[in-house]
Structure 1
Amino acid sequence: MNQIILFNNLLSLTLPSSFESMNWEKIELMFPNEDRPQFIYEEIEANRFCTFSLLKDQKLSNFQVEQGIQSISNAIMSLYPTCLLEAPQLLEKEEKIFGYFTFKTHSKEGILRNIMYILSVEGCMMLGTMGCLLEDEDGVRQLMQIMNSLEIPERTPSYRRISNCS
């Protein structure tokens, strides 16, 4: 297991050592739009992946997570009505609320189970998707462990001396 720190120490998580950063060619194929996730990891042999995006322009408080995940799932359901596998849920962890739901998509490897999640980080939306093949129950458990490992590290305030110049 590897402890990963992202976004200048705003998010930490634990990834199995079998996960590695996705190569650029595959990223461009999987996410052709320039607005792609900021961090993408994959476990090549098992067809599993995790994405992490901090959307600084999308404000989100801890109290808005439930409404946010409902809105996102509704938007996806309106585009792909038969894709929902699991309705939006909330997960509370150390005074933080995570919202997530699962949906299926198709890829050249087969049907994927995607777990989309959001949480508030520094008042902004953290958005991510984790995925594996639909029938990969071990993958689902592993991805849920990764999601449960997400933490917002304590930030220690920095103090600096203010001098009075006369």
Structure 2
Amino acid sequence: MDQRVDEKILDFINEVEKREAKKDICNGPVKIGERYYEFEESEFFDEKLKIYIPKDFTDMSLEARKLKYPSESRPEIIKCNEKGNICITLNIIDSPLNEENVGKLKDGMKVIIKKTNPANVFYEDGVLEVDSKNIGFFDFKSYAIDDSLYNIMFFLEFEGKTLMGTFSCLYSECQQWRECAFQVIKTIRIMKEDKGDEN
């Protein structure tokens, strides 16, 4: 009898540990590094795009934007933690894109980034199917003035144009963030315009 109780306790502990290990950003707070983050669904581009991001990420200040993204074509949406060293960006590029060409675009962008910064170290790349949309992605390590960064770039078709997103954090925190960052990408939903159906 005692053994059964012990097994139940062990099962319970194993379940908790499994849940911890299998972090699910859509289902309550998630421990990343030393703290817990709560993710919530946020809406962008006139509520046409929904994506889960950490609740306490805020819009990056204009001064910080200018420093971090010196070019005038900086992303339209930059959400970051309070230190500004973990960022999620979204940007619509006025360049036509359809579902079939997402993979080609991803390959082309990777080539450009390799040429611009030959020191970058590339890891995975591929095309995910999320909510019946193709999302091309690749992740890489880049070098900033005083540190190295971990980046994920992703691309999808949005109203016939190219939507480009990035996730970046310090390379030293990449192990803690990588899985959750990919989960963020997998929560992307594009709202179809339903005129007749309010359901």
Tell me, yes or no, whether TM beats 0.5.
yes
Tell me, in whole angstroms, the C-alpha distance in 2 between the residues paired with 1:15 and 1:109.
27
Structure 1 stretch displaced more, 75-84 or 20-29:
75-84
Corresponding residue pairs, total = 158
Tell me, in whole angstroms, the C-alpha distance in 1 between the residues paired with 2:135 and 2:62.
29
Root-mean-square deviation (CA, aligned residues, Å) is 1.9
Structure (1 or 2) with the larger CA radius of gyration? 2
Tell me, in whole angstroms, the C-alpha distance in 2 between the residues paired with 1:142 and 1:23.
24
Report SS of the residue matched to 2:119: coil
Tell me, in whole angstroms, the C-alpha distance in 2 between the residues paired with 1:111 and 1:23.
22
Q: Is 1:21–2:59 an aligned residue pair?
A: yes
Q: Is 1:58–2:85 an aligned residue pair?
A: no
Aligned residues: percent identity?
25
Report SS of the residue matched to 2:172: coil
C-alpha distance after superposition, 1:109-146 (max 9, x if no partner): 62101101100011110001110111211122222121
- Which runs of no fewer than 5 residues in structure 2 stay unpaired? 1-38
Tell me, in whole angstroms, the C-alpha distance in 2 between the residues paired with 1:115 and 1:75.
15
Q: Is 1:91–2:128 an aligned residue pair?
A: yes
C-alpha distance after superposition, 1:26-51 (max 9, x if no partner): 00101122211000000134821011
- Which runs of no fewer than 5 residues in structure 1 stay unpaired? 159-166
Instruction: Pick from 16, 40, 46 the counterpart of residue 2 of structure 1.
Output: 40
Contact 2:153 2:165 in 1 (8 A): yes
Normalising by structure 1, we get a TM-score of: 0.87
Report SS of the residue matched to 2:123: strand
CA offset at residue 18 of structure 1?
2.4
Tell me, in whole angstroms, the C-alpha distance in 1 between the residues paired with 2:146 and 2:108.
29
Structure 1 stretch displaced more, 114-123 or 133-142:
133-142
Q: Which has the higher helix share?
A: 2
Q: Which has the higher strand share?
A: 1
